[in-house]
Amino acid sequence: MSTASTRPVPKPGVLAIDTYVPGRSGATGVSKVYKLSSNETPLGPSPAALEAARAAINHIEAYPDGGVTRLREAIGRRFGLDPARIVCGAGSDDILHLLAQAYVGPGDEGILTEHGFLVYKIAIQAAGGTPVIAPETNFTTDVDAILARVTERTKIVYIANPNNPTGTYLPFDEIKRLHASLPGHVVLVLDGAYAEYARANDYSAGTELVSENENVVLTRTFSKVYGLAALRIGWAYGPAGIIDSLNRIRGPFNVNTPASEAAIASLADEAHLASSLTHNSEWLEWLTGSLKALGLEVTPSAANFLLVHFPPETGKDAQAADAFLAARGVIVRAVAAYGLPHALRISVGTEEANRLLVATLAEFQGQVND
């Protein structure tokens, strides 16, 4: 008992976790703040979703439906999926954690990419596993780099497609090539948080790969294009075996009623979805062109945000740009924690926010050139 501590000590791995730091939401000394730091939709949720959430709030004394049956059925109808193979979560973060809890333990490894979503790393560590980082090529997931890191200890591979914070995507052929070379015991997680935004012909969220295999899971969220981030609602589509495991370990009431009701209403409002997507594609293109015209390097994005590079040798680095923007009320995301100290991630905002962003960066760049 000589190693006994006088106070509780978390299991190995927990204290190795770097706490997730969300995008900032405020700035001091400015009257109006434009939050472009969390990839939220500038158009907000569908009015029908708001109404559904408000109606559900009147009955919050009752436990939610633990099976989230009506929402799973609505998702099934909308995407042509078997509701029995869908599990819902308190945001897709909930599901990303459950996957690691179910499939990763001490001595196991989980793979994520160099600039991959940090929740994957935290989920692997929280489960007691070891995160293994696969380098990217041109800020893009590199299938061969992932495959080179697969060992008999590998239990899970997480890929966001499109990826956050880079905005890049992998063509479906590459995802299929990755899957074809992965051992059958490895769970391949395809995180489609930004799937709605990806419009390229060679892109697929991967539904058919899930349907045809026992080791591929797709996660989706209502936090981004559907505008329900505060309600915490996401879902996974997976093989029966994986869905069964997730259902055994998830919180029995992990999805609240206002969230599931709002999600059902969101799915029905296709016009709102269409206008949100139109807004995004128009302004993503405008922002990309405008920022490039200022001499900034912009990674091509398939999502609702841009990775903008500020080479430190120009004299004004990402930190200076971040501070310059924040002082004028434009809040963007520093991504040093993602291995990108010389870049900022900037969400597509309202027209007003987008124009202010570009005007402010023009001023910032002008100072660089003086």
Peptide bond into 162 cis (omega under 30): yes
SS (H, E, C) 193-257: CCHHHCCCCCCCCCHHHHHHCCCEEEEEECCCCCCCHHHCCEEEECCHHHHHHHHHHCCCCCCCH
Quick one: 17 or 294, whose CB is closer to ligand PLP? 17
Q: How many CB atoms lie within 10 A of CB 62?
A: 8
229 forms part of the interface with ligand PLP (CB under 6 A) = yes
**Shortest distance, CB of residue 308 to ligand PLP, whole angstroms?**
17
Q: How far is the CB of 194 from ligand PLP (least distance, A)?
A: 7
State the minimum distance, in angstroms, from the CB of residue 222 to ligand PLP. Answer: 7
Residue 260 tokens, joined: 């599931």
Paired residues of 263 in beta bridges: none
Using the rule CB under 6 A, is 117 a contact of ligand PLP? Answer: yes
Between 207 and 221, name the residue whose CB sits nearer to ligand PLP. 221
The pairing of beta strand 187-191 with beta strand 216-221: parallel
Q: Residue 193, interface with ligand PLP (CB under 6 A)?
A: yes
Closest separation between CB of residue 120 and ligand PLP, Å? 8
Distance CA 197, CA 281 (A): 8
Tokens of 34: 């434009």
Residue closer to ligand PLP by CB (options 88, 186) is 88
In this complex, which beta carbon is closest to ligand PLP, that of residue 74 or of residue 231? 231
Nearer residue to ligand PLP within complex by CB, 345 or 356: 345
Nearer to ligand PLP, 119 or 356 (CB): 119
H helix or E strand, kind and range, residue 357:
helix 351-369
Q: What is the Cα–Cα distance from 285 to 106, expressed in whole angstroms?
A: 45
The CB-of-92 to ligand PLP minimum distance in angstroms stands at 4
Restricting to residues 344-363, name those near ligand PLP by CB under 6 A. Answer: none
List the one residue from 27, 81, 159, 160 that touches ligand PLP (CB under 6 A): 160
The 8-class DSSP code of residue 37 comes to S
Establish if 223 lies at the interface with ligand PLP (CB under 6 A).
Answer: yes
The answer to whether 164 contacts ligand PLP (rule: CB under 6 A) is yes
Q: Is the Cβ–Cβ distance between 217 and 186 less than 8 Å?
A: no
Residue 139 makes CB contacts below 8 A (sequence gap 6+) with 115, 166, 168, 299, 307
Nearer to ligand PLP, 74 or 118 (CB): 118
Instruction: Say whether residue 41 binds ligand PLP (CB under 6 A).
Output: no
- Taking CA atoms, 293 is separated from 23, 69, 288, 359, 361, in Å, by 26, 50, 9, 12, 11
Query: By CB under 6 A, is residue 161 in contact with ligand PLP?
Result: no
Instruction: Judge whether 265 and 51 are in contact, CB under 8 Å.
Output: yes
HEC readout, 266-327: HHHCHHHHHHHHHHHHHHHHHHHHHHHHCCCEEECCCCCEEEEECCHHHCCCHHHHHHHHHH
Site string for ligand PLP, 77-106 (x = CB under 6 A): --------------xxx-------------
The smaller minimum CB distance to ligand PLP, of residues 86 and 193, is found at: 193
Q: Among residues 121 and 224, whose Cβ is nearest to ligand PLP?
A: 224
Identified binder of ligand PLP from the candidate list 42, 234, 239, 329, rule CB under 6 A: 234
Q: Out of 109, 136, 191, 261, name the contact with ligand PLP by CB under 6 A.
A: 191
Task: Count interface residues toward ligand PLP (CB under 6 A).
Answer: 14
Binding residues vs ligand PLP (CB under 6 A): 39, 91-93, 117, 160, 164, 191, 193, 221, 223-224, 229, 234
